[in-house]
Each structure stands twice: as structure tokens, then as C-alpha cells.
Structure 1
Amino acid sequence: MGTVARNTRADRTELRVLRRDEWNTWYDALITAFGGTPESAEERELWDGLTEVDRSLGIWDGDACVGTAGAFSFRVTVPGGASVPAAGVTMVSVAATHRRRGLLTSMMRRQLDDVRSWGEPLAVLTASEPAIYGRFGYGIATLRGSAEIDTARVRLTVPPGTEDVRLRYADPGAVREQCEAVYARQVAGRPGMLARRPGWENLPLLDPESERQGTSPLQCVIAEREDEVVGYARYFVKPEWEDSVPKGEVLLRDLEALDPAAYAALWRFLFGIDLTSKLSLRSRPVDDSWQHLVSDLRRCGLRQQDSLHVRLVDLGAALEARTYQTPVDVVFEVEDAFCPWNEGRWRLTGDAKGASCKRTEEPADLALSVRELGSVYLGGFSLASLAGAGRVRELRAGALAEASLAFASAVAPWLPHGF
């Protein structure tokens, strides 16, 4: 929508696109809103380089920045493997001194208008407070799994070929390109994964000493077969002793592998690190295959938490961008008060080869809001589950089962890292 300033309160505040020379003031306002704990110079430099200032908004009260919001240029994998443009909503804050004035709503309004003008059918975010974003049409679309595995008591059963994989320690920075190539080959295979643009390969290597909290520096092990890197694991080790007995912890940052044998070899390595008895995972797919390698899932302390929230900005284009697991022909009656251009009836027809989603006057089969479509978009939740909560209404018998099955994904959607 350009850079024309717009008043959010006629008396004093101004909403406008960020300028490069304002970034430090803008980012300081964000840090203050999130508690005021300073970041390391390394982390601040990374986010300075990644911020797209022409896609970032600030609200100013005189010389003071009192509201922030950004939007990264992402491409996110959707069911069927397509990589779809998406605005990665980020760095959203309102100063505590300026609450309850409609500033957040004004930024969300401007931002979604901008995203539409950029021709991006999706907006996505991770939420520090998930209750905030539903009213703007965002639905929880992916979950992340965490676990605390008792490696002293849990054993692994690995598949044939694991012994053929060679593991070696490597400096994380020295093998960044090889690890990034492994990551890139995984992106199309799982909905929710992000195709990383230049600069984003540095995010998994972020390791400020001030934030280690007793852990080692970031460590890396790579898996090789015939001199080709086929997997990697990046992790920290936190030494701990109790009555002269080692009880150290391994904290996994990320792990990717191109085949089951390399995958199993990396997990077996993590389970067997000397002087440790616990492996902690903080963000893994909820259907991660390590759960089928372990001897006792009950001793793995599994938990789930919301991760990626999805908002359909251009409903028709978004639903046409993905494929459908089974043939579907359904008419949705959609509510979207915040983006009224999505309101009304849409006929979706599609299968595993492609889809069409057009406006229609035909009778509706299912009634729901754009928030529910965001939740099911990547295949992580079902329309039937949402109907059980009263958030989807079936208007034609059989339509709910048909559409629920069609929207499913063969693998659970997953966001590999925050932004």
C-alpha cells in the first residue's frame, strides 16, 4: 500500500512504514515490550540483517515508537509440495503505555491490506500469546512436539543400513552449506516448512555465550555416506552431576536426515553421548519417527504446543495452491469480518493433482469462518474435529466427512524454527 502515513489516533499517534535509519529505535521498543532484557550483539545483528524494513510498520507518538510489526517474505510448503508465498508476521508489539487504544488492530488491518496488495495468499505467525490472533482470522495450523527422554533407560532399535553411515564432529559454521543443502531437500516433503532465503541459514547457528545457561557451545555432528552429507544434528550438552554420578543433558536444536539409516544413526549418537542421561527436544514434528525407534515411549515425557498460525488472505488463491488427498467438491459459506473480501460462498473442487476455488451462488455444504480454514489448511487439524467443537456446521449430509478426508496430510505439518 505504499508508505503514506496514517493517523491511528487523530490527536497524536502515526502509523507508517519503517525507515532504515529508525530500525534501532523500533527494535528497542520491541525489546522493551517483551520485558526489556537486552539481546546479545550477535542476535541483534542477525535480526537487523533479516528485517525487511519496507514490509515493517511502526506506530509513533512524537519521537517515541509505541508499536511494531514486521512481515518477512517467506515461502511455505503446503500439502502437495508447492511452495506458496506467505507473509511471516513478526516482531509485533504495543507499548504498555499505549494499550487499549486500538493500535494493534490498526497494525493488523494495515498489514493484511498490504499482504493482499503484495499478492501473497497467506499470512503466518507464531504467537507469544495465542489468544490474541484469532480475532484477526488466524487459526492454529501446526503443533510442535517436545520431549525429555530418559536415555539411561530407553533403548533404540535401528533399521538395517545404520552401520553403513559414518558420523563425524564438525564445526557448525564450516559445514553450514552442506547442512543447508540437506534441509533444502526436506522442505517440499512436509507442509509448514519454510524455504529459507539467503541469511536465514545463520539462524540455526545463533549461539550467544550470554544465553547458554551452563551448556556447551553449539555442537554439530554430520552423517555421511560415500563422502556425501546425508544428515546432521546440532545440539548442546549441559553437564550435571549428582553424588558423583553423571546426569548430563543433551539439548537438541535441530536434526535432519535424507534416509532412515542416517536418521537412526544420528538419534543413536545423541542417545549415547558420554556422561549424559537425558535428551531434551523442544520443537519436533508430532509424528517424528524417533517415536518408533524407542523401547519405552512412556519414559519420553511427550508434550505438544501450538506453533504456526495461518491466515488465508486471498481465500481462493490459497485453497487453489494446495492439493487434496481425496477428490473433493464442496461449497463453503465463509465468515471473515476482518477481511470482508473473503466473505461469502466458495466452491472448492480438487484432488491430488490440483484444485479450483471460485465464488458461487450454489447452496452451501459447510459453514465456518476463515479461522477454521486456516487451522485445517496445512492438514494438521480436521474439519470434523472443529465441527465437534461447534466451529464448523454441516449443511449437507456427508460433506463434513468428504472435506475432512480431503484436507488431510500424509505427514504432520511442522514449522522447523521460529521467526
Structure 2
Amino acid sequence: MSDITYRTFDIPDALTDELRGWYDAVGLGFHQKQGSDEAAGRWREEVSRDGWRLDGAYAPASEHSLGAHIPVATFATTTQSINTGGGHVEPACFITDVTVRTTHRRRGLLSHLMGAALRRARDEGLSLAALTVTEGGIYGRFGFGVATQHRSAEIDTGLRFGLVAPVEPRVEMMPNDASVAVRRAVFDRFHATHRGSHQRLAFYDALLSGAWDWDSDGPNKAIRSAVHLDASGQPDGVLSYEIDEQSSAVKIRDLLALDAGAELGLWQFIAALDLVEKATLRRLSPTSALPWALTDPRALKVTGVEDFTWLRVLDPAAALAVRAFDADGEIAVEVVDPRGIASGTWRVAARAGRAEVTPATEAAVQVDIRALGSLYLGLADARTLAAAGLVHGPAADVAALARLFRTDGPPHNTSGF
């Protein structure tokens, strides 16, 4: 450990050697091909727009190493927002690009970077931290719990596709470059009204408009864009897709709808595409009307359910005070945080959608910090978490906790980072 130094820097106005080294280290960590100078420049512009702070762990250069300018561990943070219910969006610490080079594992680099970031975010007044993961076994030990999920689906868009009730056609194709502003506007309305939504980052603009594809290191000429219009002619849904002619399938890159009418209108458009027999979608809404609107429900197949975003509560009192509660109730809860960031005991009294959170001396229910992250947006039931060993207490008190944290619908997030 004595040979490791840690550096922090904001995004410079140009692609410096230090920034390029950090960018290359992330690509190495995720087994990506080396990006071009254009790709690195685009990345610099996007992370600058989002205000990322970059942290790195550096080892001395040797005769056979990659060089002192390429960190052996990377860690990035930015302050964005999460919808905590009831129309409230709360600032949160978003974490991404977490890597540790294979040659420098088991040296505490991730623990150092993560611990410093979480404490810094808490000290700056943020009550929540969020991330997405490539490996599911790492972040529970840092206090993160699965908070949203996504469902992958395959839809038969051929003769089996039909809707129970007719949908008025209100879809227009639009130029890809024009779709950027429309998608942003629709997302802003979605983000303000859907519990569990995480703010979208700058890279979505180029990715979903086809201006840049990070896998191919160039523009994606296959992307097409469409918009759904409400009765007054205003956009209330947006679609980004590409067609694979070899498999006669349409790959939906993004389907964002403000209500069921917009969602079904876009699905009707997708099913009407010529020479297409099926559609694939990675993030089917957990409250999608499509399974119930199809004349043949078996035309839709859920092909997978996976964790999506993970949540870490940094300040339970502050986080619970900005959470919307769909049920009234009162309970004292002890939060157990092995890392000592969020430990404590509080009484939560919810009335008319909001909670008053006050310190308490004792509680019948103990909640592991990971479980609080899974309870917070309404994904998990406290009784299920108790069965998993993450919540402890008498059955009646655990049931009361479950009732208090119950939400009228599951959290819905469309944005990764």
C-alpha cells in the first residue's frame, strides 16, 4: 500500500495525458477496446457536462508497466437526482467507472476510494448514493442494496400481435438529431412523476440519437427515432430503435412513455413495421400495460429479470424525511451499518405522505443498511428481507415496517450510469 498514491481531479477543458490515462484505465477495467482520440474527446465533453469528479489510485511506473499516468484503480462521482416519490427529486451521489486493475487486487484500493466517497457525500449533505454494477457480489459489503430492477422482454410483432382496445395512431418519425431535445423534455416529465427514476446522464443524447456508439467507436447509422403525441399534439412518448434484417427483429434502445396511451401507441407503431417479426426490449416497465393489452398475452415473453440500480442510504433521518409514504404509520427502527456511516435509531411517523423522523433510544426492529436501500424506493417487502436475514425483530413489528414502507406501485427507472 505504501507505493500507492491517490489523486483527484475535475474535468479539464482539454484532453490531457492525465485524463486520457484515466479514460484508458476504465476501458482496461471493463475489457473494452482502446478508444480513439475522438471517442476520448466525446467522453470528456459528456463527463464535463455532468460534473464528474474523478479519483484514481496510482502506482509507480516500472520498466514493464503501462506507465505512471494510467491509474491502477478508478472511481467517479457526480451529484444527480433520484425521484423518492410524491413528485420529489432528491440530490444523490452517483458512482460509476469503478475499476481495480487485476494486478492490484486485494490491496484495499476500492475500500479506500469507496469509503472516502461515501463519507464525503454524507458530509456534503447528500443522504443517498447510487450505482449500477457489473458484478453483483461486490457492493453489498459497502451497504448498497438492490433498489430497482429491469425486465428484458421479447414481443411477437407478427400475426399474434393485437391490442384488446384500439389505439389512435399518433406517432411520427423524426430526425435523429431532433430527437435529442424531445427525449430530454419527455424524460424530465417522466423523472418528475415516477418514483425510482434516476436522472439521465449526458451520454444518452448521443447514444440514443445514433450520433455516437461506444461499442463501435463511431456513429450508429442504424438508429431510428419516433415520437408519440398526445391529443394536443405535444410529445408524451419517444422511441429509439434499430432493425436487424438478418433476424427480422427490431431492437428497442429506448421506449419512454408518460402514460399507458403513449406506451401502447408506440407498441402499435413497432408492430406495424414491415419485415419485422419480433421486438426485443431490455427495460420493460414494471407497470407496463402491454401484457394486459395484448389479445394474446403469450405474444410477450419476459426473458430475464435483473438488478438495475443499487441504493446506499448515507443519512437515514434526512433520506426518510424526503421519501413519500403511501401508508400512514409509526415505528422505531435501528439501522445497523457495519461501516458506521448511517448507524442509529429513529422513530418514523408517516402522515399524509410524509414522515417526521426523530431520534429514538430503542427499537424493536433492526434493519441492515443494505435492506434499507432495498426498502427505500419500495422494491422489497420487509418480511421478505427478514426471511433473508437482513431485518430482525418480532413478526408483528416487521409486518408493521412492511406496511409502512409499502408503495402503491414498484419503482420505475429507465436510466443506467
TM-score by length of 1: 0.88
Question: Which of the residues 186, 191, 197 maps onto 2:195?
Answer: 191
**What's the counterpart of residue 221 of structure 1?**
226
Long gaps (5+) in structure 1: 1-8, 241-246
**Structure 2 contact 200–416 (Cα < 8 Å) conserved:** no
**Structure 2 contact 370–390 (Cα < 8 Å) conserved:** no
**Structure 1 contact 40–208 (Cα < 8 Å) conserved:** no
**Structure 1 contact 40–210 (Cα < 8 Å) conserved:** no
CA distance in 1 between counterparts of 2:188 and 2:299 reads 32
**Structure 1 contact 83–195 (Cα < 8 Å) conserved:** no
**What's the counterpart of residue 307 of structure 2?**
306
CA distance in 1 between counterparts of 2:206 and 2:85 reads 27
Deviation string for 1:117-152 (max 9, x for gaps)?
221111000000011000000000111011112222
Structure 1 residue 204 corresponds to structure 2 residue 239: no
Structure 1 residue 319 corresponds to structure 2 residue 320: yes
Q: How does 1:147-162 map to 2 (within 5 A)?
A: 147-157=153-163, 159=165, 162=167
**Alpha-carbon distance, 1:335 to partner:** 1.2
Moved more, 92-101 or 229-238: 229-238
CA distance in 2 between counterparts of 1:45 and 1:411 reads 41
Deviation string for 1:44-80 (max 9, x for gaps)?
4443223257622111113241110001221110122
CA 1:75/1:210 → structure 2, altered by over 3 Å: closer, same or farther?
closer
Amino acid at match of 2:30: F
**Alpha-carbon distance, 1:263 to partner:** 2.3
Q: Secondary structure at the match of 2:33?
A: coil
CA distance in 2 between counterparts of 1:41 and 1:217 reads 23
**What's the counterpart of residue 267 of structure 1?**
267
Q: How does 1:327-342 map to 2 (within 5 A)?
A: 327-338=328-339, 340-342=340-342
Moved more, 128-137 or 12-21: 12-21
**Alpha-carbon distance, 1:386 to partner:** 0.8
Deviation string for 1:145-198 (max 9, x for gaps)?
1111222253232545x22x4322111211322232122111122222134477
Structure 1 residue 368 corresponds to structure 2 residue 359: no
Structure 1 residue 61 corresponds to structure 2 residue 59: yes
CA 1:200/1:357 → structure 2, altered by over 3 Å: closer, same or farther?
farther
CA distance in 2 between counterparts of 1:298 and 1:159 reads 17
Deviation string for 1:376-413 (max 9, x for gaps)?
11111111111122221123x52222221221222321
**What's the counterpart of residue 281 of structure 1?**
281
**Structure 1 contact 74–86 (Cα < 8 Å) conserved:** yes
CA distance in 2 between counterparts of 1:366 and 1:219 reads 51
**What's the counterpart of residue 96 of structure 2?**
90
CA distance in 2 between counterparts of 1:149 and 1:120 reads 41
CA distance in 2 between counterparts of 1:147 and 1:154 reads 16
Deviation string for 1:270-294 (max 9, x for gaps)?
1121111111001222222222222
Amino acid at match of 1:335: V
Amino acid at match of 2:307: D
Q: Secondary structure at the match of 2:177?
A: coil
**Structure 2 contact 77–94 (Cα < 8 Å) conserved:** yes
**Alpha-carbon distance, 1:216 to partner:** 5.9
**Structure 2 contact 208–223 (Cα < 8 Å) conserved:** no
**What's the counterpart of residue 3 of structure 1?**
none
**Structure 1 contact 324–350 (Cα < 8 Å) conserved:** yes
CA 1:226/1:347 → structure 2, altered by over 3 Å: closer, same or farther?
closer
**What's the counterpart of residue 47 of structure 2?**
51
CA distance in 2 between counterparts of 1:170 and 1:158 reads 28
CA distance in 1 between counterparts of 2:278 and 2:36 reads 28
CA distance in 2 between counterparts of 1:308 and 1:259 reads 22
**Alpha-carbon distance, 1:107 to partner:** 0.7
CA distance in 1 between counterparts of 2:408 and 2:141 reads 30
Moved more, 64-73 or 397-406: 397-406
Structure 1 residue 404 corresponds to structure 2 residue 395: no
Q: Secondary structure at the match of 1:173?
A: helix
Structure 1 residue 27 corresponds to structure 2 residue 23: yes
Amino acid at match of 2:235: V
Q: Secondary structure at the match of 1:411?
A: coil
CA distance in 2 between counterparts of 1:190 and 1:259 reads 11
Structure 1 residue 167 corresponds to structure 2 residue 200: no
CA 1:236/1:305 → structure 2, altered by over 3 Å: closer, same or farther?
same
CA distance in 2 between counterparts of 1:58 and 1:322 reads 33
Q: How does 1:94-105 map to 2 (within 5 A)?
A: 94-105=100-111
**Structure 2 contact 52–78 (Cα < 8 Å) conserved:** no
**Alpha-carbon distance, 1:265 to partner:** 1.5
CA 1:234/1:36 → structure 2, altered by over 3 Å: closer, same or farther?
closer
CA distance in 2 between counterparts of 1:410 and 1:291 reads 19
**Alpha-carbon distance, 1:223 to partner:** 1.9
CA distance in 1 between counterparts of 2:387 and 2:4 reads 43
Moved more, 34-43 or 183-192: 34-43
Aligned residues: 398
**Cα RMSD after superposing both structures:** 2.3
**Alpha-carbon distance, 1:203 to partner:** 4.6
**What's the counterpart of residue 5 of structure 1?**
none
Identity within the alignment, %: 30
